[in-house]
Amino acid sequence: MCDRSNRKSDICEADGDVRIIGKDTRMVFVGPPQSNDNGEGESWTIKPYARKWAADSGARVREVTLKSVRGYGDDTRCSVNYTVPALVFAIGGWTGNFFHDFADVLVPLFETAYPFGGEVQFLIANMNPPWMDKYRPFFQNLSRYEIIEYDNDDTVRCFKHVTLGLRCSSAEDFQMDPSKSPHGYTMFDFAMFARSVFSLESEHPSRVGERSDKKPRLMIITRTKTRRFVNAEEIVQKAAEVGYEVVMTEADPDVSKFSSIVNSCDVLMGVHGSALTNMIFLPTDAVVIQVVPWGNMDWAAGHHFRDPSKQMKLKYLEYSINEEETTLSELYPREHAVFKDPLSLHRQGWATYARIFLREQNVRLNVTRFRPFLERALRLLRRE
Side-chain-side CA neighbours of 283 within 13 Å: the count stands at: 21
Assign 340 a pLDDT band (cuts: 50, 70, 90).
very high
| 65-103 residue pLDDT tens | 999 888 888 888 999 999 999 999 999 999 999 999 999
Side-chain-side CA neighbours of 226 within 13 Å: the count stands at: 14
How far apart (Å, rounded) are the C-alpha atoms in residues 326 and 21?
Answer: 54
| 216-230 residue pLDDT tens | 999 999 999 999 999
- Name the 3-class secondary structure at 175: coil
Averaged pLDDT of the chain: 93
H or E stretch covering 135: helix 129-140
Domains of the chain listed by start with CATH number: 2-185 (no CATH), 217-383 (3.40.50)
Residue type, 142: L
How far apart (Å, rounded) are the C-alpha atoms in residues 169 and 8?
Answer: 9
Tell me what percent of the residues of the chain surpass a pLDDT of 70.
Answer: 96
Side-chain-side CA neighbours of 300 within 13 Å: the count stands at: 20
What count of other Cβ atoms lies within 10 Å of the Cβ of residue 368?
8
Pairwise pLDDT comparison (38 vs 56), residue with the higher score: 56
| 122-169 residue pLDDT tens | 999 999 999 999 999 999 999 999 999 998 888 999 999 999 999 999
What DSSP string runs through 30-63? E-S---STTSEEEEEEE--SS-TT-HHHHTTS--
Assign 278 a pLDDT band (cuts: 50, 70, 90).
very high
How far apart (Å, rounded) are the C-alpha atoms in residues 95 and 213?
Answer: 43
| 101-121 residue pLDDT tens | 999 999 999 999 999 999 999
Assign 32 a pLDDT band (cuts: 50, 70, 90).
low
H or E stretch covering 27: strand 26-30
Single pTM value for the model = 0.93
- Name the 3-class secondary structure at 113: helix
- Name the 3-class secondary structure at 277: helix
How far apart (Å, rounded) are the C-alpha atoms in residues 253 and 92?
Answer: 18
- Name the 3-class secondary structure at 241: helix
